[in-house]
Amino acid sequence: MAVNPKVVKVLNKVLDAGFTDEKAIAAMTMDDILTMQGLTVADIALINDLQKSVKANKVITFLGGDTNPAVSTKNEN
């Protein structure tokens, strides 16, 4: 599985903005995201997918290019 370069670029922007751990990334608000310089709409969508991946414990899958991680199966019966 190769690392998606677009994801790495966005992750670097998130880290440079001071969101350096999973808890901080998951807690980012839209205001936090919008204050980051140089983001495109596609970057914002990737940050949203990153937050979902962090919450679903699927960060490695996300870095590999799967930007739509499966929702956690904890609620399935």
Q: What are the C-alpha distances in Å from 6 to residues 36, 69, 71, 75, 77?
A: 16, 16, 22, 31, 36
What are the pLDDT digits (tens) for 9-32? 999 999 999 999 999 999 999 999
Distance CA 38, CA 54 (A): 23
Whether 72 is in a domain gets the answer no
Task: Decide if 47 is inside a domain.
Answer: yes
Q: Confirm whether 32 is domain-assigned.
A: yes
Q: Is 21 among the domain residues?
A: yes
| Residue 27 within any structural domain of the chain | yes
The total of structural domains in the chain comes to 1
User: Would residue 28 be called left, alpha or beta, if left means φ above 0 and alpha means ψ between -120 and 50 degrees?
Assistant: beta
- pLDDT tens, 40-54? 999 999 999 999 999
Residue 75 lies in a domain: no
Give residue 65's pLDDT band: very low, low, confident or very high (50, 70, 90).
confident
What is the domain extent for residue 44? Answer: 5-58
- For the chain, give the percent of residues with pLDDT over 70: 83
